[in-house]
Chain A
Amino acid sequence: MSSTVLLTIIMLSLLGLLAAVILYIVAQKFKVVEDPRIDLVNEVLPGANCGGCGFTGCRAFAEVLVKAESFEGLNCPVGGAETMGKAAVILDRQPVAVEPKIAVLRCNGTPENCKRTSYYDGAMNCRVAHSLYGGTTACHYGCLGCGDCVAACKFDAMYMDPVTQLPVIIDEKCVACGACVKACPRNIIELRKRNRKDRKIFISCVNKDKGGPARKACSVACIGCGKCVKVCPYDAITMADNLAFIDSFKCKLCRKCVTECPTGAILEINFPVREEKPAEPAVTEVN
């Protein structure tokens, strides 16, 4: 009896020893020499693997950061200045100040504003619809409403509004990772500078048609009249292909252009209600 116990103990010990030796050899042979700072940087990154930095994931970004000479052009939009500051401390580099951004939907083609001219009956996927035809309205630049951006958002910062048939970006949750910008086949979503209290002024239209057809397709389209360009005191507005564009880094949020726009294509959001001017333009707070 005792010999059985002894034999078992010896056998198991030998097996364990053998396994340990094999593991050791394998570990030595396939050892990956890695900069320990990669792990440290990876620790401070958000770990969402959203790809907002332009790399495949947080770890890939950590590797890039460790290798990089300076932080110029590298930014984690999710963690922002805080995360980049921590990473800079670990790597002993100079943090580069990057303005925080926010995603903005540049289309206001609700069924009310933009008449539906056909019914889309294919797979609920913007890319499928986009490659098929101009869309359910006469505007073939606007939102298709199939929700590719909502599906792409990893931070639950978007949802489809069933009434407006447009996606809605929740300002507080948006981290400006840019996934929705990439997902949109019509390039409607833009990353803009995040202002105090998430205040935004932007042209809520991407229609490049001439004034007539654009207006006919959608009552709140940018018709390229150029009034906003003239009124802007900061040269923040430019006009290209019948479409105005407000540079969010030049804009000082004076709101002059908003009242000037004849179609109401310029939206002001999260501003206090205007009191002095009774003739307020029709602003739909969809965003």
Chain B
Amino acid sequence: MNHAIERQTLRVLIWVLGLMLTATGASDLVAQSPDYNRQVLPILSNHCFACHGPDSQARAADLRLDDIPGLLAAGGEIIVPGKSEESELVRRLLSDDEDELMPPPDHKRPLSPEQIATLGKWIDAGAKTTPHWAFVPPQRPPVPLATPADWVRNPIDAFVLNGLNREGLVPSPEAGRATLLRRLSLDLIGLPPTPAELEAFLSDTAPDAYERQVERLLANPHYGERMALPWLEAARYADSNGFQQDGDTHQYVWRDWVVNALNTNMPFDQFTIEQLAGDLLPKPTHEQQVATGFNRCHLLNGEGGAIPEEQRNVIVFDRVDVTATNWLGLTLACAQCHDHKYDPLTMQDYYSFFAFFNNVPESGVPPGGSQYRIADPFIYTGTLEQRNQLAELEARARQLRQQYERLEPSPETALHYACWLSELESAESPQPPLEGQAPPTAGQVPAEIIELARVPAEQRNDEQKMRLRRHFLDHAAPEPLLTVRRELIAADQARDQFRESLAKVMVMSDARPRETRILQRGNYEMPGDPVTANTPAVLPPLPADAPHNRLGLAQWLVSAENPLVARVQVNRFWQHYWGQGLVKTPENFGLQSEPPRHPELLDWLAVEFRESGWDMKHLHRLIVTSSTYRQSSHLRPELLERDPANEFFARAARFRLSSLLLRDLALAASGQLNLQFGGKPVYPYQPPDIWDSLAITKERDFSYPLSSGPDLYRRSLYTFWRRTVGPGNMFDAGSRQACKVRVTITNTPLHALTTLNDETWVEASRLLASTVQREAGSDKERIATAFERVCARQPSASELAVFERQLAKGRELFAAAPEQAREFIGIGASEVPAESDPIELAALTNVCLTIFNLDDALTRE
């Protein structure tokens, strides 16, 4: 097609579109400027910043479209406010000349006519800019009015309902009580309600019945376990290092710290400071040091040829990425090799941030060893009693060492040593060299020592000298040196032995200050200008008196001036309940982020969070007690058409439970769940050959050490997480390789195979069948009880009928093959009650397995 004609037509099109935009929402023709942040900036950022943005290296024609005020102040004709037709920018967007056209055709990011019209209208309206919303500290917006007013239980509802009013939508009715309690229980503690809990709630007619359930669950110690799950994914927590040797670690100590901190409702500012800089607090407690394990959950590469300094830099890169993503919602990692293409983040910013994490006394590679490979720095942990005992042992060894060092270099010792040596050299019948000492005799001294002594002194090498001296100290030194030395060796051994029985958790430390330099192209071998630790320039500065270290950084993150941290967190809380945040890019609040739905609600929540004293339970309580949360999740036909993605929250969210929770649910419903808290990870069922691929490295045994007894039934949180091969039945979970803050839920046949065939679910079904056999008499009652334990509601008559039919079919088929029935119920390590009828139990087990696989069961409604 003729290019010029195409362009000509396009200009007409844009003109019409421009008129359309003008006409929509305005009765007159007064030009309304498109919103800079929501409409203009995304276009510039997406299509122009790659060459005309913050990255000074990539910048073309010395033109910065990310700094409009600067551009306007400099004058020129790129943008002439009020006059799009005179602006070079618009001319270039519409140019017929391929060499002039912007974006260049080979850029392959052409603008749509609508987008060009938007830019034109924005220029016509004066080219006004406002800073990116996320970089401006949130202010508490006024709570809007909305109808019906009695739907509003708290300000969340006012914002949501106000939005629905604007859209002409109405909220969904409140969910059924059973659904509501199951939802609440799974959201807050990750376990389904027991039949007794359900019954209590259904029969509670008090007006605050629901609120009391919320309080009960917030106070439940399983709350911390549930809320820890997303935090552990963000922290890329695993129980091994990754890479070929994949040595195990003891980072579970840090995992327990997280659960405990959440259960005690540690304020989020403290939660932040202790994890990022607990070691730098004045007189840090043991727990505060453990907290810093957050930044030691990185991978460690122990491959044969790994270059330590390269790997050390990779680890620090990872800390920058995790900290920036998790707290700031910034993709700072993009500024590692060049200035950020979209956000005002430079390499200077990146490496200044890097400098906070660059002082750790670490080599970059884990130590050798077999099963455990725990890299410096680490601390020994244990119960308070164990730590006290360790402190005593350490003190004793230290004290003996001091005593020994005072004695060792004394002139008397030196003289004694000289005499002893000369005795050995001559090896004649020895005389006591000093009064009161047992003489060394030739017979007592090993021949090799005597031989060493006969080497002329000036010819002895260092090692020979050391061996001689050690033998002297061990056997021939004068008292009290001899005794002190023996005691010291014993004390060191006692201390070391005891230490080895304790867990070692990797923690942070600034004990090895390093100069940080900008690494050109992110290459550790190409250091450039030096930088000092600092926060990104686009954000408020560190206070003048703040230390430029991790502690200063952590305190700065949770300061009132920080525009991002509170928003990023409340957005994640929202995601917890809706599957998606108010900002759908929880990992990115920068210029390329999705603009928030309900920006006022986001800001209100952020300010509320901070002003509540960073009270996490308060935020969760606010959300779950809102009418918004309590809505039904049913997708009304009206909503399917108007708002299928639930942008306006006219219904509750409905999503499949995470695989970790699905397993907990199955165990809980079966009655077999072991609710023990914390401690070493466990090894529940997994197909025997999953770790086989690891067996290629012969440095250790990689057979899967399947747990036995109650350890098979701990919550999924406690399953050993091998970083190279995650647990086989935990689909859709993060890989624990890098920070992950976004929830992903997929729907594949492999998931179906897992919950249909994995030993975990088959055994849970049999245990559930046994339980309901004991508890209920008739088929109907048994099915209904099992159904209720899984789905927390009574089955409908038609559902019951289907299961009854299936039970009958099962009986018929298993009766024809009783051996198969025995095989089927024999799956799993738990005992099958001797008195049970195999055919009956097998048929009911199959029904329970079907129940576990109902969409209803897999889903949080």
Q: Do A and B bind each other?
A: no
Which residues of B are interface residues toward A (Cβ below 8 A)? none
